[in-house]
Amino acid sequence: MLTPAQIHDLPKVELHLHIEGTLEPELILQLAERNGIRLPWADIDELRQQYEFTDLQSFLNLYYANMAVLQTEEDFADLTRAYLRRAQAAGVRHAEIFMDPQAHTVRGVSLSTCMNGVAAALAESEAEFGISSALIVTFLRDRPVAEALTMMQDLIDMRAPIAGIGLDSAEVGHPPIDFVEVFSLARERGLRCVAHAGEEGPPEYVWQALELLQVSRIDHGIRSLEDDALVEHLVTHQIPLTVCPFSNVRLRVIDTLADHPLPAMLARGLAVTVNSDDPAYFGGYLDDNFIALTRTLGFGAGELATLARNAVRASFLKADAQAPLLAQIEDWLTAQV
């Protein structure tokens, strides 16, 4: 079985990571103290006891509540640097990072505060941590579409340093079709488009994300397996799915990691990638997900290299930046046998 050191050395790309989902309990307490915010928890142990989820919404409730400690540009930069430091230790070489600006503006933190803080840390990422990055603004599908449209225009007006947009938050009852106008505005401006679909929602939402929002990747997408025609479409067009194994278990999308459909997805030829989603909430970072796949699903070097290759190809990196990573993955694979 591959060791954690071998897994560290595999060049990894993270494509589904919510920066707010990297807010660790220790940092929550530190920022609460720095900003004079009273938390509802007596201590870190009581806070940690909240991390038992029954579904997506039960997680989102805690995820949004904990963001109250993020107040200043410095807070957002510290959060982002803490993630990048941990990602470096995981052997992540490129990260495309989601941020949920509406989760901050609705509580009185300005768009420029969250954007500038995260962007400042990402601007130093390559030099400081050896990780290239892209920022993706995600719209909250359970908030009014008009709010997303206004924010999209604000992002354009401020020339926000973003590579693309996405769609997240509570999925069921909030279909992609509602956000057609937002996504077409983004596409007109040359932004890349992705969307969470088929996490808790039906395959129909995956079809809508593809056909109406014209996304180039689907985040999660595991419920696509319920629709054979959809699987065939995803395979034929090699549309990447950013699968998040730990997240799926902790949000009870699947029962246990041993039941995860990832091996079946690979066997069917889907362009799957493995990602950490909200690692501070779901029990581990990208390396932890990969280690668990070797231990629980018996993945070897061949499967991990396929996942790593798929992620490079699914990234927004240009071909000349993908090529050295792909070559390093082949070198890694050769060294394992």
- Site of tokens 């041993």: 258
| Active site annotation includes 14 | no
Tell me which of Zn ion, ligand ADE, none is bound by residue 281, counting a contact when its beta carbon lies within the kind-specific cut-off of 5 to 8 angstroms.
none
Amino acid in position 133:
S
Question: Which is nearer to ligand ADE, 11 or 21 (by Cβ)?
Answer: 21
Q: Tell me how far, at minimum, the Cβ of 275 lies from Zn ion, in Å.
A: 8
Per-residue contact string for residues 229-268; x = within reach of Zn ion by CB under 5 A: ----------------------------------------
**Active-site residue, selected from the candidate residues 20, 96, 171, 199:** 199
Q: Tell me how far, at minimum, the Cβ of 52 lies from ligand ADE, in Å.
A: 16
Q: Among 277, 287, 288, 303, which residue interacts with Zn ion (rule: CB under 5 A)?
A: 277
Question: Which is nearer to Zn ion, 200 or 277 (by Cβ)?
Answer: 277
Angle, helices 111-123 vs 73-90, to 10°: value is: 40
Question: Which is nearer to ligand ADE, 278 or 288 (by Cβ)?
Answer: 278
Q: Tell me how far, at minimum, the Cβ of 195 lies from ligand ADE, in Å.
A: 10
Distance CA 11, CA 113 (A): 32
Q: Tell me how far, at minimum, the Cβ of 169 lies from ligand ADE, in Å.
A: 5
User: Rule CB under 6 A: which residues touch ligand ADE?
Assistant: 18, 21, 56, 63, 168-169, 196, 199, 247, 277-278
Tell me which of ligand ADE, Zn ion, none is bound by residue 80, counting a contact when its beta carbon lies within the kind-specific cut-off of 5 to 8 angstroms.
none
Question: Which is nearer to ligand ADE, 117 or 245 (by Cβ)?
Answer: 245
**CB-neighbour burial class of residue 298 (10 A; exposed 0-12, middle 13-18, buried 19+):** exposed
Q: Tell me how far, at minimum, the Cβ of 330 lies from Zn ion, in Å.
A: 30
Q: What ranges in the chain are assigned the alpha helix state H?
A: 4-9, 25-35, 44-48, 56-66, 73-90, 102-105, 111-123, 125-129, 145-157, 180-188, 203-211, 228-236, 245-250, 262-267, 279-282, 286-296, 301-314, 319-336
Q: Which long-range contacts (CB under 8 A, 24 or more apart) does 103-111 make?
A: 103/20, 103/64, 103/67, 103/140, 104/67, 104/70, 105/151, 106/143, 107/67, 107/68, 109/70, 109/71, 111/151, 111/154, 111/155, 111/158
Question: Which is nearer to ligand ADE, 73 or 200 (by Cβ)?
Answer: 200
Binding site for Zn ion (CB under 5 A): 277
Which residues does the annotation mark as catalytic?
A: 199
